[in-house]
Amino acid sequence: MARLVAKELNAELTQDLQANPFLGDFYKDRNGAAFQAQLFFLLNRYQLLQGLRQPDLFRQTIVTDFIIEKDRIYAYQNLSDSELALYEKLYPMLTADQVQPDLVVYLQLSADKVMETLKKRKELKSLNISPEYVDNVVEAYNRFFFHYEATPLIILNANGVNFSKDRAAVSDLLSYFQKDLRGVTYLTPKTSL
């Protein structure tokens, strides 16, 4: 989705794509590699956002596929109490004074749709991602965005929408970028399929 939006807006795209070397171990044994996997994600996102702090006259619009705050969603799902205490000492140091987005779009999916998507991704097929874990993460995301107030927010019902094939759905979303949004906007995109 971020790639499509960036293309339509002729914007620079910053994606959180670096492979996490601890992720495979995490899904095999959550207790053994959770902290390392979480710190890898946090530090990688920190570095990506640091790169956006430098002003560039040639880039007017930047699209990312993450907000750094989402890192905490996983931290609270996966870390032990002692790991979380250490994480909470690091998190403020790495997130203070970060670039804030002008708008956040949350692609809201059901747990069933997330599981369906995960099963299609080749690199994730071998990982042991349980439906219960996905249910918990989806619930945590919904809870987080229900209370999110840092920027204008579009909660986009992405169930049943294939944005790569449905240009009308992408256009519908982009039309909201031109509006003076405040607070939360709920959107079920118009589709042509």
Local confidence pLDDT in tens for the 193 residues of the chain: 888 988 888 888 888 877 889 988 888 877 789 999 999 999 999 998 888 877 666 667 888 899 999 999 999 999 999 999 999 999 999 998 888 899 999 999 999 999 988 888 766 666 778 899 999 999 999 999 999 999 999 999 999 888 888 888 888 888 888 888 899 999 988 776 5
Any catalytic annotation for residue 65? yes
Question: Taking the domains of the chain in order of start, what are their residue ranges?
Answer: 1-100, 102-193
**Helices 2-9 and 167-177, packing angle to 10 deg:** 70
pTM of whole model > 0.85?
yes
Question: How many other CB atoms are found less than 10 A from the CB of residue 112?
Answer: 13
Nearest to 90 by CA among 104, 79, 100, 106: 79
Secondary structure (DSSP) of 102-145 = S-EEEEE--HHHHHHHHHH-GGGTTS---HHHHHHHHHHHHHHH
Task: Write out the two tokens for 180.
Answer: 């003076």
Looking at 65, 71, 102, 135, which residue is catalytic?
65
Q: Which CATH architecture has domain 1-100?
A: 3-Layer(aba) Sandwich (3.40)
CA distance 123 to 92: 32
